[in-house]
């Protein structure tokens, strides 16, 4: 029997059983219990004077403690993801968005320097493609900068019993609706999770396990394009810190490994990412702006020879050649007052049809809020003058990848 039919039976029977008591309650006969008012009598004697003094002193102490609490509230909350649903959801969404940001055809992630670079800056420059990849993930996974909301909903897809929904807005204020459909199978030692992460017209096979380790529930997830190209994320949280280890594997080769700590300060999320490989250490502290339209990053990087730290402001910039928004990096290092600019790749844009003409589309035509739809667009995809090319784009801007992914999805189904 289908669930909807079952619901209808239950609802019908409940309606049949439900008594109508509205007419049987006479409101006038009900005596509402009045609000309790505590009356105090004033007695002016030494005992009272002393007790008032003590009370006053207590109030002062409470005020001081209150101030401490307020100051304390600006301390980072290092375990902002509270429920199992949030922990599962964050891992699945972040793994899938890292996978989305991975170009499996080696065509993208060309971070282009826009000005002269010195040694201290170029040491961070070499890491910008990796940073780019994480920014693409964080643009979605950090939500709208002050709220990460995962909701368990009834699965609307056959074959999957459970569903976690996550909505997020990217830096252009486009909304993305992620749904993680999954089944879970219990074994004596662990829970196996198998499912798909779906958003827009994209899907990634996502699997995971949950198990108990020293009394705490631990989990790990893997979002994959195929057996050799995947993102693996493992929950390494403790009772005081929420940390996730990521491994990005492309064609069987580990391309990046990191540990990400998530925390919230004054209800705003920020992450710390640590990467370490071949003698090079990189630490990033990333936060979205209050307007959810830019990132600010504090970085520290070192290798055997050089050490550098500084700030990176990342905003969106419309690229007229590529007809989409890209990241504009402004890198300032603490050892040098120069600001160096770079252009990075950005993967998020909504499925749309863009039309370009011989006349270069200006950024002015792009409207903030539609991310990938910047450019002159008509309903039927034609223009009245100039050469017209019509391009169907999807998140990832990689028709070849999309074809591969679609094949994998078809095969896996």
Partner 1 sequence: MTVDFDKYIDKLKEKDNEAFAFVYENTKNGVFSIIVSIVKSRAETEDLMQDTYIKMLKNINSYTIGRNFNAWLMQIAKNIAIDHYRKHNRLTVYDPQEDMYIFDKRQAPQKSDLDIDEVIKNLSPEEKEIVLLRIVANEKFKDIAKVVNKPLGTVLWIYNKAVKKLQKDLEKEEKS
For partner 1, the binding residues (CB under 8 A) are 1, 3, 6-7, 9-11, 13-14, 16-19, 21-22, 24-25, 27-28, 30-35, 83-85, 151-153, 161-162
Q: How far is the CB of 293 from partner 1 (least distance, A)?
A: 30
Closest approach, Cβ 267 to partner 1, in A, equals: 19
In the complex, least distance from residue 287 CB atom to partner 1, rounded to whole angstroms: 28
Please identify, using beta-carbon distances, which residue of 37 and 321 lies nearer to partner 1. Answer: 37
Between vectors from CA 261 to CA 170 and to CA 146, what angle results, nearest 5°? 40
**What sections of 292-335 are H helices per DSSP?**
none
Distance CA 266, CA 243 (A): 19
In angstroms, what CA-CA distances link 273 with 26, 269, 286? 64, 13, 8
Question: In this complex, which beta carbon is closest to partner 1, that of residue 14 or of residue 253?
Answer: 14
Which of 7/56 has CB closer to partner 1?
7
Other Cβ atoms less than 10 A from the Cβ of 331: the count is 25
Minimum Å distance from CB 333 to partner 1?
A: 45
Report residue 14 as tokens.
Answer: 């409940």
- Separation in Å, CA 104 to CA 179, 225, 342, 399: 23, 9, 23, 11
CB 267, CB 260: distance < 8 Å:
no
Min CB(193)–partner 1 separation in Å: 12
Query: What's the min distance (Å) between Cβ of 356 and partner 1?
Result: 44
Beta bridge partners of 266: none
Is 67 within 8 Å of 61 (Cβ atoms)? Answer: no
* Closest distance to partner 1 from the beta carbon of 41 (Å): 24
Residue 151 or 201 with smaller CB distance to partner 1: 151
For partner 1, give the closer residue by CB, 60 or 153: 153
Nearer to partner 1, 16 or 45 (CB): 16
Nearest to 94 by CA among 232, 203, 226: 232
Which secondary structure element, helix H or strand E, spans residue 9, and what is its range? helix 3-17
**Shortest distance in whole angstroms from residue 8 CB to partner 1:** 9
Bridging pattern class, strands 253-265 and 242-250: antiparallel
Angle formed at CA 270 by CA 267 and CA 271, multiple of 5 degrees? 145
- Closer residue to partner 1 (CB): 2 or 43: 2
Angstrom CA distances, 235 to 89, 100, 131, 151, 273, stand at 12, 20, 21, 19, 14
Residue whose CB is less far from partner 1, 23 or 214: 23
- Contacts of residue 198, Cβ cutoff 8 Å, sequence gap at least 6: 178, 179, 180, 181
């Amino acid at each position: 029997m289908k669930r909807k039919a079952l619901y209808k039976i239950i609802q019908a029977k409940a309606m049949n059983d439900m008594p109508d008591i509205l007419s049987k309650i006479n409101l006038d006969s009900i005596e509402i219990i009045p609000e309790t008012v505590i009356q105090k009598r004033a007695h002016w004697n030494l005992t009272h004077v002393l007790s008032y003094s003590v009370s006053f002193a207590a109030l002062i102490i409470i005020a001081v403690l209150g101030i401490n609490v307020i100051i304390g509230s600006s301390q980072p909350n290092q375990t902002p993801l509270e429920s199992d649903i949030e922990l599962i959801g964050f891992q699945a969404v972040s793994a899938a968005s890292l996978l989305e940001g991975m170009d499996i055809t080696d065509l993208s992630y060309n971070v282009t320097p826009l000005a002269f670079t010195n040694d201290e800056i170029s040491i961070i420059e070499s890491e910008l493609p990796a940073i780019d990849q994480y920014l693409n993930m964080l643009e979605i996974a950090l939500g709208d900068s002050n709220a990460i909301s995962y909701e368990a909903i009834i699965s609307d897809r056959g074959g999957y019993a459970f569903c976690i929904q996550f909505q997020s807005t990217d830096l252009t204020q486009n909304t993305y609706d992620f749904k993680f459909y999954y089944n879970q199978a219990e074994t004596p030692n662990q829970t196996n999770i198998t499912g798909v992460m779906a958003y827009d017209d994209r899907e990634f096979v996502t699997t995971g396990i949950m198990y108990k380790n020293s009394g705490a529930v631990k989990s790990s997830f893997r979002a994959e394009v195929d057996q050799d190209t995947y993102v693996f994320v493992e929950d390494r949280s403790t009772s005081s810190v929420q940390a996730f280890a990521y491994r990005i594997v492309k064609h069987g080769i580990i391309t990046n490994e990191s540990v990400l700590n998530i925390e919230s300060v004054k209800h705003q999320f920020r992450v710390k990412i640590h990467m370490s490989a071949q003698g090079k250490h990189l630490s990033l502290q990333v936060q979205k702006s209050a307007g959810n339209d830019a990132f600010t990053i504090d970085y520290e990087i070192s290798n055997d020879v050089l050490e550098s730290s500084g700030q990176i402001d990342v905003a969106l910039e419309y690229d007229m050649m590529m007809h989409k928004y890209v990241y504009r990096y402004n890198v300032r290092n603490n050892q040098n007052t120069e600001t160096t600019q770079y252009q990075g790749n950005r993967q998020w844009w909504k499925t749309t049809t863009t039309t370009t003409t011989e006349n270069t589309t200006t950024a002015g035509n792009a409207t903030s809020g539609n991310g990938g739809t910047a450019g002159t667009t008509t309903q039927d995809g034609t223009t009245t003058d100039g050469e017209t090319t019509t391009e169907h784009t999807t998140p990832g801007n990689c028709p070849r990848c999309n074809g591969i992914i679609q094949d994998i999805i078809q095969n896996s189904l």
